[in-house]
Amino acid sequence: MRPVTAQWVANAVGGELAADVHASVSSVIKDSRDAVDGALYAAFVGERVDGHDYAPQAFAAGASLALVSQPVPGPHVLVEDVTAALGRLAAAYLALLRTEGDITVIGITGSNGKTTTKDLLAQVLPDAIAPEGSFNNEIGLPLTVLRADATTRHLVLEMGASAPGDLAYLTAIAPLDIAVVLTVGSAHLGGYGSPEGLAEEKATLLDGLVPGGVALLNADDARVAAMAQRPVLGEDGRRTSTFGTAASAALRASAVTVDRGRARFHVEAAGEAADAALTLVGEHHVTNALAATAVALERGLDLSRASALVGAARPLSPHRMALTERADGVWILDDSYNASPESMAAALRALKDVATTGRSFAVVGEMREMGESSRAGHEEVGLTVVRLRIDHLLAVGEGARPVYVSAVREGSWGDEAAYVATIDEARAYLDARLEPGDTVLIKASHGSGLWKLADELLGVDA
């Protein structure tokens, strides 16, 4: 973060600065344990922890200022709402960076693929800042913005939406030079009531484009492709382009093949052509790779260079289609960070492609935030497991039980399918059955906790 004064912070957030504070701020944190010299500590009040109680520890570790909603001993800026103030601070700071240098802001949304596309761009674009993990909400996005400094040329932001108005709020903090929309699926459908409502929310990302900005849309998703009709496009130099396998796509992939889960394809754009090969596991990553390539082309890279960089990029965030061979010869395909019906189906197809030497085990947990479509969505996963001829299914947790029931009904399975209530039971089930050459997919929403099983299977310390 470019250093700013405590008074500048107070002015930016509209807060009250404690008397006689002359501190300088050079980073922003939300955990007192991360405090370093010059840090601004944002004290949030959670369900179980009040961040104000930890302000003394933050100051002791070097924090020079706190952003608070109640007075604390030590230098602070007092506001009514710390979350809202953090957003105002990030908006003012990004505006400051724009006046002082050349920074391009890229926002990515979609029901699936946001984090992977963000990780690809972090490795492809020069001097880029991107979120750590999946910082894509009203707290994580401002914290990412505030990590940028005078050397940052590209600010890559993952923008999540779980309720109407979320994207409008995030783009008000960080207006976009490039807006990327990947998919409209079933993730977070509970907050919108219908796919059409979710599509309308995703489309509001385009309203956050600055004059001269570009929207990059997935031509393979009908609801996303329709966003090209958004009124803001065509105003003040704003424009649109597309990517996908559809013949109409401006950046088009063809001749897609998969070898042990990794895709190869031919790509064409504006008279250029290149061949691409991904290190990422799963054919569905072709969409994410094309999105990243489209951004790279907008930023001046030629197609061959962009395709090569995207192809060489690797997963950066944990629990996302990470394929690891254990010492005992068992393969673990860990995609346990998040889940929707669409990403479940993609992960199951990847499991089928990867499991070439032994048996395939699909270990699935609950998909959350699906509203009234939850049961039907889980039942569809069970059908997919059977239709793909996955060798074994293990459903973990009550929320995933419909997956097991659906698979048994569809496939008349016996021992091939099982249900357990806990992660400990799941671990015991797998330990008793896995053999060298087997491949195990771990897939669920993060809130189900199934990622803990993936860590246990891989020997990752908690």
Q: Could you state, in order of their start, the residue ranges of all structural domains in the chain?
A: 4-80, 101-312, 322-458
Q: What CATH fold (topology level) applies to the domain 322-458?
A: Protein-Tyrosine Phosphatase; Chain A (3.90.190)
* pLDDT average, residue stretch 41-58: 95
Nearest Cα residue to 185 out of 159, 224, 219, 217: 224
Q: Which residue has the tokens 């395709």?
A: 307
The region of weakest confidence among 38-42, 137-141, 318-322 is 318-322
- pLDDT-derived band at 191, boundaries 50, 70, 90: low
In degrees and rounded to multiples of 5, residue 287 shows phi and psi of -60, -45
Nearest Cα residue to 388 out of 338, 340, 353, 435: 353
End-to-end CA distance of the chain: 30
Rounding to the nearest 10 degrees, give the CA dihedral for residues 278, 290, 261, 332.
90
Task: Compute the distance between CA of residue 176 and CA of residue 325 in angstroms, rounded to an integer.
Answer: 40
- Determine which helix (DSSP H) or strand (DSSP E) holds 429, and give its type and residue range: helix 423-431
Q: Which residue has the tokens 């059977």?
A: 386
CB 25, CB 9: distance < 8 Å:
yes
8-state DSSP, 147 = T
- pLDDT-derived band at 131, boundaries 50, 70, 90: confident
- Global pTM exceeds 0.85: yes
The region of weakest confidence among 126-135, 159-168, 303-312 is 126-135
CB 86, CB 15: distance < 8 Å:
no
Nearest Cα residue to 433 out of 451, 420, 446: 420
Write down the pLDDT at residue 325: 94
Task: Compute the distance between CA of residue 41 and CA of residue 247 in angstroms, rounded to an integer.
Answer: 51
Instruction: Decide which of 194 and 350 is more confident.
Output: 350
- pLDDT-derived band at 412, boundaries 50, 70, 90: confident
In degrees and rounded to multiples of 5, residue 186 shows phi and psi of -110, -5
Please give the CATH architecture assigned to the domain spanning 4-80: 3-Layer(aba) Sandwich (3.40)
Write down the pLDDT at residue 47: 87
* pLDDT average, residue stretch 173-197: 81
Write down the pLDDT at residue 434: 97
CATH class of 101-312: alpha beta
Q: Which residue has the tokens 């996955």?
A: 390
Mean pLDDT of the chain: 94
Q: Is the pLDDT of residue 338 over 90?
A: no
Q: Is the pLDDT of residue 431 over 80?
A: yes
Q: Is the pLDDT of residue 121 over 90?
A: yes
Write down the pLDDT at residue 318: 83
Write down the pLDDT at residue 192: 62
